[in-house]
Structure 1
Amino acid sequence: LNKMRANRGMEMPEDFWIPIALDTNNITALSPFLVPQDHLGSAGVFYAMAAFMFFIFVVGTAINTLTIACTIQYKKLRSHLNYILVNLAVANLLVSGVGSFTACCAFSYRYFIFGPVSCKIEGFTATLGGMVSLWSLAVIAFERWLVICKPLGNFAFKPNHALACCVFTWFFALIASVPPLFGWSRYIPEGLQCSCGPDWYTTNNKDNNESYVMFLFCFCFAVPFSTIVFCYAQLLITLKMAAKAQAESASTQKAEREVTRMVVVMVLGFLVCWMPYASFAVWVVNNRGQPFDLRLATIPSCLSKASTVYNPVIYVLFNKQFRLCMMGMLGMGGSEEETSTTSSVTEVSKVGPA
């Protein structure tokens, strides 16, 4: 890094930062907005990432669009829990439709072909959608805790409460994603310079960037994750107590096993989505000047975008009523079985979204 700074003199590009030493006195000549970044990795790596982003774009866009379409078509899906699932789908659609598509095109050309302004738009949009997704997962866990564990007694979680929670997720996401547009950090190309996100790397204005990273880690990772762990832990305790009281009930024992498995999948899914990104950002700000492989630095960003695929799989396709309606909409059967159910909304009395 010192060699790079010595070679570059006082040149500090405002729209990007390549955090490795490069054999050039004019870093702007290697701008990720102007030329392929072949000095950062082989063409095969870029094309592999393009293929992965294309998969995430196609599958993520399809499954989240289908989730929204099903809710519009089937009135029985318009329960309070499903409002939050749709909110999650909208956030995922924003990330896959903008973030994954943009990254796919950029990886295909091996540099960010859309320019600095589009980089800021893509970084903001992906961060906004990602933050809404994170807080939606926390809200789902909180809703399950209220409904199953009944900490507020007979309090009923109604659709207007769910809508308020959805507004809450977007409000908090805006608090997290807007600051880089106004000088608290900035949105620049990250990793292999083909997708954009907050500036973890820059050594100039160091304190500004570090404070923003720590804000994101605490406010948008630690708090939602703590909420999810607490709520699902309480849910499992409640279920185990019910199973113990009904030790002879095979259905109760089966429900305990299914929900335990579901909770494990939910927590692991959250960690796979966001732990690499959060951990990498914290490592960078605490190890300024330390070399790292930019190919590995790209992985956390891609995993966070991949959440647009496996979050719906966990929270929507494992929801029986959603699954049956989706099958009916696709002409694969299932809607008749759904119609025959006595409940007109998702059975929120069951533990977990399944």
Structure 2
Amino acid sequence: MRGSRVEELPEDFWIPIPLDTNNITALSPYLVPQDHLGSKALFYSMSAFMFVLFVAGTAINVLTIACTVQYKKLRSHLNYILVNMAVANLIVSSCGSFTCFYCFGFRYMALGPLGCKIEGFTATIGGMVSLWSLAVIAFERWLVICKPLGNFAFKSEHALFFCALTWFFALCAAIPPLVGWSRYIPEGLQCSCGPDWYTTGSKYNTETFVMFLFCFCFSVPFTCIVFCYSQLLFTLKLAAKAQAESASTQKAEREVTRMVIVMVLGFLVCYMPYASFAIWIVNNRGQTFDLRLATIPSCFSKASTVYNPVIYVLLNKQFRSCMKKMLGMSGGDEEESTTTQSVTEVSKVGPS
């Protein structure tokens, strides 16, 4: 499709149609299946994929929250941030992923314009809270291990403040499309909704909103993550070099390095497709693109409700130990003792 056709379409939706199609209204993503965009097998495969994300994302994030409620020892300042991310992921999986599962099954946005706005808003606010939570986790690790503020102690009240800040930043990104700065419309295969990346020269000022999201909601947290984790790695490598004879210190340094790489890659996998796609659209107005590819960013972001908890929660030995206890599995006590030893080793690696 070409961007030059966008302004010919009705105000309440944008339809990616072939240039030789005349009956625009008949292809409304709110009214009829969008079979001109892909095969039924493609739509049903996407529906199945979204169902898996809904079930897995809901289960793992509910379990994270339930563990924190049941086990008092999990209520540390870092775990507050992990639970904050779990709540955001739960919103995305229970609202965003389930809505997409339902609509892909019908092959169009069967919930109508209001449902589109609700799905777009909940997916955006949940995704933004999760994104900023990743930045807060990196910032907290930098403060605790690198100690740039000396003996400053990152306490629970600080964690709660930063959790509230993530929701404030998320609202700054999710509310504007509801009040006229951009808008929520069907995207990709027209079975999920997100901010309008496509419309040019309209009253919605979509170009400025895209640049706002890219700069404030991607570049700033990504810069924070890269800076904090690079400083963390630098500090740990110096300490490991000074304690070259200590096998435990060397092991801790390798484990932290491996985790940092996984965390940064996880962030990029989750949010780079959306950021890259939005910037490409802004800088290539009128260019032809395959709408099936435009669905990929939404899939990656919604999949983060599963792989982010795996990275930040299930790889946390203390959380994993408590989850095993809650599910009646063995090995909890052994992992808890291992956790204490691991925490002690990492604290020794950090500067005094």
TM-score with structure 1 length normalisation? 0.93
| Structure 2 residue corresponding to 1:105, chosen from 81, 93, 102 | 102
Tell me whether 1:323 sits opposite 2:320 in the alignment.
Answer: yes
Question: 1:34/1:227 Cα in 2 relative to 1: closer, same or farther (>3 Å)?
Answer: same
Aligned residue-pair number: 347
Q: Counterpart amino acid of 2:300?
A: L
Question: 1:114/1:22 Cα in 2 relative to 1: closer, same or farther (>3 Å)?
Answer: farther
Aligned-residue offset at 1:182: 0.5
Question: 1:350/1:162 Cα in 2 relative to 1: closer, same or farther (>3 Å)?
Answer: farther
Tell me whether 1:141 sits opposite 2:134 in the alignment.
Answer: no
Secondary structure of 1:291's counterpart equals: coil
Q: What is the aligned partner in structure 2 of residue 241 from structure 1?
A: 238
Which structure 2 residues correspond to residues 1-354 of structure 1 after superposition, within 5 A?
5=5, 11-205=8-202, 208-337=205-334, 349=347
Question: 1:88/1:351 Cα in 2 relative to 1: closer, same or farther (>3 Å)?
Answer: farther
Distance (Å, rounded) in 1 between the aligned partners of 2:158 and 2:223: 21
Distance (Å, rounded) in 2 between the aligned partners of 1:119 and 1:153: 49
Question: What is the root-mean-square deviation in Å for CA atoms of aligned residues?
Answer: 2.1
Distance (Å, rounded) in 2 between the aligned partners of 1:339 and 1:142: 25
Gaps of 5+ in 2: none
Q: Deviations over 1:200-258 (max 9, x none)?
A: 01124178100000000000000000000000000000000110110000111111111
Q: Counterpart amino acid of 2:272?
A: M
Question: 1:207/1:37 Cα in 2 relative to 1: closer, same or farther (>3 Å)?
Answer: closer
Distance (Å, rounded) in 1 between the aligned partners of 2:203 and 2:247: 59
Gaps of 5+ in 1: none
Distance (Å, rounded) in 2 between the aligned partners of 1:45 and 1:4: 27
Question: 1:93/1:102 Cα in 2 relative to 1: closer, same or farther (>3 Å)?
Answer: same
Contact 1:203 1:288 in 2 (8 A): yes
Q: Counterpart amino acid of 2:280?
A: W
Question: 1:157/1:12 Cα in 2 relative to 1: closer, same or farther (>3 Å)?
Answer: same
297-306 vs 331-340, which deviates more?
331-340
Secondary structure of 2:96's counterpart equals: helix
Contact 1:91 1:133 in 2 (8 A): yes
Contact 1:95 1:305 in 2 (8 A): yes
Aligned-residue offset at 1:48: 1.1
Q: Counterpart amino acid of 1:89?
A: A
Q: Counterpart amino acid of 1:287?
A: N
Distance (Å, rounded) in 2 between the aligned partners of 1:240 and 1:3: 50
Matched residues, percent identical?
79
